[in-house]
Amino acid sequence: MINTLNTRIKNMQNIYLGKTWLFITGLFSLLFFGLSCINTKKAVYFNEIDDSIITNKFADVEPIIQKNDLLSISVSSLNPEASMIFNAPNFTTPSSTASTGGIAQATGYLVDQDGNIQFPVLGNIAAKGLSKKQLTTNITKELLDKKLLVDPIVNIRFLNYRVTVLGEVKNPSVVNVPNEKISILEAIGLAGDLTIYAKRNNVLIIREVNGNKIIKRVDLNSSNILSSPFYYLQSNDIVYVEPNKAKVASGGRAPVYLPIIVSTLSLLVITASYFKYR
């Protein structure tokens, strides 16, 4: 009778232990697959593109001068002394208190709130809304019409051409662009590339044109971005990369409860092992 009772108790313990191990195994599997299940297609650029040639008609579009742009305008001619006065605003002389050999700081011509620059001798010159080529033509024409220089050569560059990259990138930053041309991929690369939590199919670009904010969302998983007018960024563009659901979830209560769950499971494993091998 006692042996029969002990056998029944042993069988009940085995059934309990079997169900416990089944529960623990199932819970561990759920956590493992839930945390490791990532759609790799959403984590790569251009996953749908094959070998091809894509033409971007916006590749050679010149940037347009806006208010608050800082321009370097250099003028040269057959008479260097006569040209000197037009180049003076490009540099400030070192302070009198500075040590000998101090480096002059580039300042350039600031486009004011009316869209003009103050050019020596010529006075106010409209700059806002023009390309560098158009402004170069206008300044050259003024110098010739007023017979200030013979065969002047005018060169214009942006001193503050930059874009801002924010959000799910390794190093959110303001990227300076000395060559005045940068693609969205180059800007993201200079910001350290996207993180694994970045939402690559919904990247936000904010661009200001004539006082208006243009909002555009682009998909870096699609080849359409390569021929988009937003593939090449303009000065003062802002690129914002949103976090995906995994990042949002990781910022919730999951990190708080995960150690508790793991500790509980560990306790169950130890308890089950104790009764099994007792």
Q: Average model confidence (pLDDT) for the chain? A: 78
| Cα 166 from Cα 105, distance rounded (Å) | 29
pLDDT for 96 equals 41
The partner residues of 209 in beta bridges, in order of sequence, read 212
| pLDDT per position as a tens digit, 90-131 | 765 554 444 444 444 557 899 999 999 999 999 999 999 999
Percent of the chain with pLDDT over 90: 45
Residue 113: strand, helix, or coil = coil
The reported pTM is 0.68
| Cα 139 from Cα 152, distance rounded (Å) | 9
Judging by beta carbons within 10 Å of its beta carbon (0-12, 13-18, 19+), is residue 73 exposed, middle or buried? buried
| pLDDT per position as a tens digit, 152-187 | 999 999 999 999 999 999 999 999 999 899 999 999
pLDDT for 139 equals 96
